[in-house]
Amino acid sequence: MSEPLIDVRGLRFHYDDGTQALDGVDFRLWPGETVALLGANGSGKTTFVLHLNGLLAGEGEVRVCGVPVQKKTLADVRRRVGLLFQDPDEQLFMPTVIEDVAFGPLNLGLSAEQAEKRALGALTQVGATAAAGRAPYHLSAGEKRRVALAGVLAMEPEILVLDEPTTYLDPPGQRDLVRCLRGLPQAKILVTHDTLFAAALATRAVFFDKGRIVAEGAVREIVERFSWTPGAGTKPAG
């Protein structure tokens, strides 16, 4: 069997106030997979994915494409893991869309011409080339999501991590996003409360509760097995 793209063993993390957000998480992402992370608000999902490119650092071992996530490896890890935040406005800050999408490649050392070419390619992947010259703040929620994703894709990551990607999207926007993500070759991790979105894309689901992964399997199996209310504990459906 091939090596996992992400290999996490015994990950623990406490916030400064003493809250234990992760309590011994083991997780692997394999090439070609799309894995949905399900669970209530506060169960540890977002805290977990922020460890995958070194935005947080806890106890345990996190490896990305065989590389241990450490301070000295962060530049390499962050090229491999593309993280799409829940709010696209956190990733859109340049005067025009094309400048926004080209920002990352420029910081990799590409020339302006190379960065623009890569940015246009990424916008084509997400179906947003018509927005290239527009100001990001003039875009709809769905357009912002696509442009933010293009900014991630322009870095040519091996893994995509998407935190609540359907937030602010109406049903047509959600369907467009599903079609877009299906066409991308990268392995993906989806943090989501949207079980229909998860079922449309994910090959596997894991369920977080109180900082631990308490179950994994097919999306439908996990959804049927567990019921939860955001912010509350987890109970098997019965």
Separation between Cα atoms, residue 199 and residue 80, nearest integer Å: 25
Amino acid symbol at 172: P
Amino acid symbol at 146: R
Q: Between the ranges 82-96, 159-173, 184-198, where is the mean pLDDT highest?
A: 184-198
Separation between Cα atoms, residue 101 and residue 124, nearest integer Å: 12
Separation between Cα atoms, residue 224 and residue 219, nearest integer Å: 9
67: confidence class by pLDDT, cuts 50, 70, 90: very high
pTM of the model: 0.88
Compute the mean pLDDT over every residue in the chain, rounded to the nearest whole number. 90
To the nearest 10°, the Cα dihedral for 126, 129, 130, 134?
100
Please give the domain boundaries of the chain with CATH numbers for all domains.
6-229 (3.40.50.300)
DSSP letter at 3 equals: P
Instruction: Provide the pLDDT for residue 1.
Output: 54
